[in-house]
Amino acid sequence: MRATSSRPISQRGAARRRAFRYLDLAGEREEGNGMVRAKKTKYLFVTGGVVSSLGKGLAASSMGALLENRGLEVTHLKLDPYINVDPGTMSPFQHGEVYVTDDGAETDLDLGHYERFTSAKMTRKNNYTTGRIYQSVINKERRGEYLGKTVQVIPHITDEIKAVIREAADGADIVIVEVGGTVGDIESLPFLEAIRQMKYDVGNENVVYVHVTLVPYIAAAGELKTKPTQHSVRELREIGIQPDILLCRSDREISREMKDKIALFCNVDPSAVFTALDVASIYEVPLRLHEEGLDDKLAELFNIWSRAPRLERWETIVEKVKHPRSGEVCIGVVGKYVELVESYKSLNEALVHGGIASDCRLRLEFIDAQRLEEGELAVLDQVDAILVPGGFGVRGTEGKILAVRHARENKIPFFGICLGLQMAVIEFARDVLGLERANSLEFDESTPHPVVTLMESQREVSDKGGTMRLGSYACKLKDGTKARELYAQDLIHERHRHRFEFNNGYKAAFEGSGMVFSGVNPELGLVEMIELNNHPHFLGCQFHPEFKSKPFRPHPLFAGFVRAAMVHRDARLREAGGVAGVTKLPVSKGA
C-alpha cells in the first residue's frame, strides 16, 4: 500500500491506537476443587475468492507477523483441498515448491512464508490435505472407531478437520488457518463447512473470518470493479460464512467511497474493508497492512488488548531490499523448473536474505539447463555467481554439469544444493579424476563409476510418497574449512530431502585431488558438504539450507555466497576498467 506520510510506518496512526492494552485471552477450567485460569485460543480463518494466487499465504503470514509484534503467540495451519496426502509426489509445475519441516513433513510452500514471517516452528501438524483427512477417517473406520455408524462428510470429515485445527493451536494465543483454493471449488467445501462450525464450537468472540478477494482494474472502463468481490462474498455467505474482514487485492488504491460500496453489498462494516495493494517486496506487506489499520481491527474483533506493534525491524529490511548501499549482483540459477519461479520459492527468498546481510540487491538470472546442453554457455559469463539447486530426474543434468565445470574452471563463485552437490561431484569425477562416464545411479544404472549412489536405507523402499531421507539431521563441520568459517560452529542441523548420496568408496580419490569433505553426518558418515581448496568460493551441500533462512536471520551459506558474488563482481569491474567498491570476503585457511 502506498505510503501517505513521511513518518515511519510504526509511528503512524498513533492517535487512534493506545500504546498498551490488556491481553484478554483467558478462559476458565475446573481443576480439583477450584478454578484455574487457562489461555483461550482465538481462531483466524483466511479464505480466498475470485481467482487463485491472490496471496492468501502472504496475507496470513503478514497478519501473523503483525500479531506477533503485538506480543502474542501465533501459529499457523494450512488446509489444502487436493486429494494427495501431501505435495511430495507432485510436480513443481503443478504445485510449486515442496517445503520440508524439521520433523520431515513435505508441505505446502506457504509454510515457508509462515516460518519466514514469524517465529512459529512448523511441523507436519501445520499442513493437512483432503487426502490426509480422509486417510485418517478411513483408518479410524477400519479400526472400528465408528462401529455401527454410517461414516459421512458431516459430521465425521468435518469433525476430523476441526480436530486438526484444535491440535494445531497447541496453546497459542492465535492460530491462523488458511484454507487453500478458491471459494466455489467443490474440493474445499468440507473445509469451509468445518470452519463455519468452529464459530459455534468455540464462541463468536473467538473466531474471525478474513476473505482475500480481487478488485480488478478494467482498462477499457478506466475504473476498478467491485462485482467480482460481491459475487465471491455472496458465494461464501451461501455456505454460511459471513466474512468479518475483506482484504481487497488491487494494483492501485481503493477509494473510501468504493470501500463503502463493497461494505454495503457484502454486509461488512466499512472499517473492515482494506486495500491489499501490490508491493515491490513481499516484506512490505506487513507494513502496508498495518498502515491500513488491519492489526487494529483484528485486535478489536478479537477483543485482544495488547501492546502496540514494533515494526522497526521490518522497516529496516524493506529499506535494504529497496535501497541497498552495496549495489547489485547477478546470480545465475541453473535448473529445469525455471519457467515457474514458485518452484524455487524458498531458494529465491534465501538469496534475497543473503543480499540483505550485505546490503546488496540480487538480480536472479534463471537459466534453463537444457539451453546449456545446446551450447548456449555464454550466458554463464554474464553472472557474478552460479547456483545449481535441488531437483529430480535426468532432464537437464548434463547442462548443470556444464555449469559446474564453468564455475570451477573460471573461478566463479559456485553453490550447489542437494542435486547441485551431486552434479559437482560428477563433474569433478569426470574432469579432474578422469573417471569416464561417472554418474549417479539415479540417471545411469549402468555407469562404471557410481560416484553418487542410492542410500542404503532406500534400497528396499518401493513407495514414493514420504519415503525419502526427510527432515533435520546433524552435520559435523571440519575445522579450517569455509563451511566451518561461515557457520562459526562445529555441529549444525539442516533439513534434507533426497534418496541418493555421495559414494564413500570414492572418498580417498576425491580428497587426493583437492576436494574437501567439509561436512559429514556423525551417525552414518554420509557426506553433507563439499568444497574446493583451490577456488575462491566453491561449496556444495546435500541438505536444503534455504528452508531455515529468514529476513532477520539470513542463512550463513547464502550470506557467504552473496559476499563471494560481490567480490567477483568487483574484480570483473576492475578488470573492465570500471569502478567498484571492493567487498572483503573472509578466506578459509584451506583456500
Active-site amino acid positions: 418, 544, 546
3-state secondary structure of 516: strand
Cα diameter, the chain: 83
**Residue 257: Cβ within 10 Å count:** 7
CA distances from 455 to 71, 268, 460 (A): 45, 56, 10
In which order are the strands placed within the sheet that holds 450-454? 439-440, 450-454, 500-502
Any bridge partners for residue 368, and if so which? 335
For residue 70, give the nearest of 42, 29, 101, 112 by alpha carbon.
Answer: 42
Residues 321 and 356: beta-carbon distance below 8 Å:
yes
Contact present, 569 and 329 (Cβ < 8 Å): yes
Q: Which residues contact 415 (CB under 8 A, 6 or more apart)?
A: 385, 386, 387, 388, 537, 539, 540, 557, 561
Query: Tell me, what DSSP letter sits at residue 153?
Result: I
- Measured CA to CA, the distance from residue 469 to residue 458 in angstroms comes to 8
- For residue 211, give the 3-state DSSP assignment: strand
Say if residues 111 and 157 touch (Cβ distance below 8 Å): no
For residue 456, what is the DSSP state?
A: G
Pairing of strands 74-80, 207-214: unpaired
Cα first-last separation, the chain: 47
237 and 202 Cβ atoms separated by less than 8 Å: no
Residues in Cβ contact with 501 at an 8 Å cutoff, skipping those fewer than 6 apart: 452, 453, 454, 455, 526, 527, 542
Using CA atoms, how far residue 42 sits from 118, 203, 208, in Å, is 17, 9, 8
**Which SS3 state, helix, strand or coil, does residue 519 take?**
strand
Query: C-alpha cell of 405?
Result: 565445470
Cell, residue 181: 483454493
| 240/529 Cα distance (integer angstroms) | 53
Question: For residue 295, what are the contacts with CB-CB under 8 A and spacing of at least 6?
Answer: 63, 66, 67, 70, 289, 309
How far is Cα 174 from Cα 217, in angstroms, rounded to an integer? Answer: 34
Q: How far apart (Å, rounded) are the C-alpha atoms in residues 333 and 420?
A: 11
Encoded amino acid at 553, one letter: R
State which amino acid sits at residue 451.
V
Q: Taking the mean position of all CA atoms in its chain, how far away is CA 454?
A: 28
By the 8 A CB rule, do 309 and 70 touch? yes
- Nine cell digits for residue 165: 485445527
Opening angle at CA 583, ends 581 and 584, nearest 5: 140
